[in-house]
Chains A and B, each alone.
Chain A
Amino acid sequence: MIWDKEFETLPREALEALKLKRMQNVVERVYTNVPFYKNAFDEKGFKPKDVKSMDDLKRLPFTNKQDLRDNYPYGLFAVPLESVVRIHASSGTTGKPTVVGYTKKDIETWAELMARALSSAGATRGDIIHNSYGYGLFTGGLGLHYGAERLGASVIPMSGGNSKKQIMIMEDFGSTILTCTPSYALSLAETAEEMGIDFKNLKLKAGLFGAEPWSEGIREEIEKKLNLHAIDLYGLSEIIGPGVAVECMEAKRGLHVFEDHFIVEVINPETCEPLPYGERGELVFTTLTKEAFPLIRYRTRDISVLNPEPCVCGRTFVRMERVSGRSDDMLIIRGVNIFPSQIESILMNIEGIEPHYLLIVDRKGTMDTLEVQVEVNEKVFSDEIKNLQILGKRIEKDIKDFLGVSTIVKLVEPKTIHRSEGKAQRVIDKRKI
């Protein structure tokens, strides 16, 4: 289902013209209103009027997470604070949080984009949207909330946590759409099982899952356990929150980037050179319409690939492949680059393995070690030691075959790996370098 047919199916030529006009506008605005950008442009000898074609994008400076920190909290706002009606922030797990602001119009834009995303997952105004994204500084909860209201659906503002109550509400209120992180969806599935509740008897038909990288295997697991269509949703607070890109129900192959509001590029993270469609690299976004907190060529650290092929759903926006990892949670184990999601895919291909795992990286002497903790459930458990050892060896071999790195698989008791209500932590890096 397409919420905004006019823009979402705009012919490419008209879309490119619209993007150029909006790019000229945002460059002008940040140059005038944000000293950081004025300096960055001046350093390159670049004036807003120099933006003549989309090609000029690559002459613009990048914005990094560090720039956001250096200008903490309000230094990159392009409007006075009295025009800012909402402030959100990223989690700030690696330092000061990243603060982002919204004008009234930004909130409107965001709600529109989230209404698009929900429609893309098949939601309509008749739906009951069970929103288990966290409310608060995190953009997930309120982003979904405003989008659901814009759509005209009924929204249940659950926020995360209190899983038993979540299941009870889903059952009693007849929730039809679930929104949360993929890892929390799996955690809810476990809780329901413990409570003796079968998702087949609930009314859920689709879910929008995002805020962390997840694999195709996890999608299958969620679809099977929760008996719904799992749709991938992408966004980040710096760009607007959830609602930057979303998969469509028709194809479930790649997420349509809302290009009328965001320019997307993929760059080589080392050389910063833009990469052509089809090549894997770091996602970079330029916001086109945001008023309070516009960003030019923001480096996300998320790794993906762009696909310009027309989609069966009719949307003309390019698609980004599901994020396979982050350039900053990429593990380098004895010189091999590995993303947790790659290990996840391998684990999910082994019958009976639970989708909960933990990677522990350490260094013994000069050697990196990678331990993969996997939970043992009844399906794979055996009363004979040798069968469990065969299972461990098989996982080690599969990882070695696919990723070229030796690991130590450790079988652990069920439910001993921490379940997250928000973003899952998959890696513990104990190396002191």
Chain B
Amino acid sequence: MKIDQISVFLENKSGRLAKVTRVLGEAGINIRALSLADTTDFGILRLIVNNSQKARDVLKENGFTVGKTEVVAVEVEDKPGGLASILGVLSDHNINVEYMYAFVERSGENAIIICRFDETDKAIDVLQKNNIAILKGEKLYQF
């Protein structure tokens, strides 16, 4: 139920993001989703890719600091109030979202929300009990 996300430490200077995408591109790795969080000095690039082990290896070889985190991909109906209903369920169970980012599925019917929870296992449990669809990694990587 958990999905591998890789994160990359980036200094705020020109060309660093371009370098990451170039390295991944040259290694034939496809980026499925991404989010960039930034501060004045540095940023953290979070990525879902189709081959996270290989992506980590090539980025490390190129001198980047790379981390791996387990996140959850939640399927949300692409309509007003869709996300609110899910967050309401999580909030009722005191589960905290550390960060999240979203993208829309190609078929266009559902949005996919990538969530990082403070308590991942508990979050999965709550989502399942409330019949909220969680995407398996294989499916996400294959899109």
Contact = CB atoms under 8 A, between A and B. Distances in A.
B41 A378 contact: no
A378 B44 contact: no
B39 to A, nearest CB: 6
B5 A383 contact: yes
B125 to A, nearest CB: 22
Interface stretch (B26-34, B62-70, B104-112): B62-70
Interface stretch (A171-179, A209-217, A281-289, A410-418): A410-418
A401 interface: no
B10 A413 contact: yes
Interface stretch (A220-228, A315-323, A384-392, A425-433): A384-392
B67 A382 contact: yes
A381 B41 contact: no
Contacts of A381: 7, 9, 65-67
Given A413-B10, A413-B11, A383 B67 contact: yes
Nearest to A378: B65
B46 A383 contact: yes
B37 A413 contact: no
B11 A416 contact: yes
A315 B53 CA distance: 56
Interface of A: 376-378, 381-385, 388-389, 410-416
B65 A384 contact: no
A329 B41 CA distance: 27
If over half of B's interface residues share one DSSP class (helix, strand or loop), that class is named, otherwise mixed; here it is strand
Contact of B39 (A378, A389, A414, A416): A389
B58 to A, nearest CB: 15
Contacts of A412: 11, 42
B65 A385 contact: no
Contact of B9 (A389, A410, A413): A413
Contacts of B67: 378, 381-383
B138 interface: no
B98 A378 contact: no
Contacts of A382: 7, 44, 67
B10 A385 contact: no
A395 to B, nearest CB: 13
A388 B42 contact: yes
Closest 6 CB pairs of A and B: A383-B7, A383-B69, A381-B65, A381-B67, A413-B11, A376-B9
A363 to B, nearest CB: 20
B103 interface: no
B37 A385 contact: yes
Nearest to B40: A410
A410 B5 CA distance: 25
Contact of A411 (B5, B42, B98): B42
B41 A411 contact: yes
Contact of A413 (B7, B65, B99): B65
Given A377-B65, A411-B42, A413-B64, 6 more contacts: A378-B66, A381-B7, A381-B9, A385-B44, A388-B42, A414-B63
A92 B48 CA distance: 52
Interface in B1-52: 5, 7, 9-11, 16, 37, 39, 41-42, 44, 46
B43 to A, nearest CB: 9
A236 to B, nearest CB: 36
Nearest to A392: B41
A389 B37 CA distance: 13
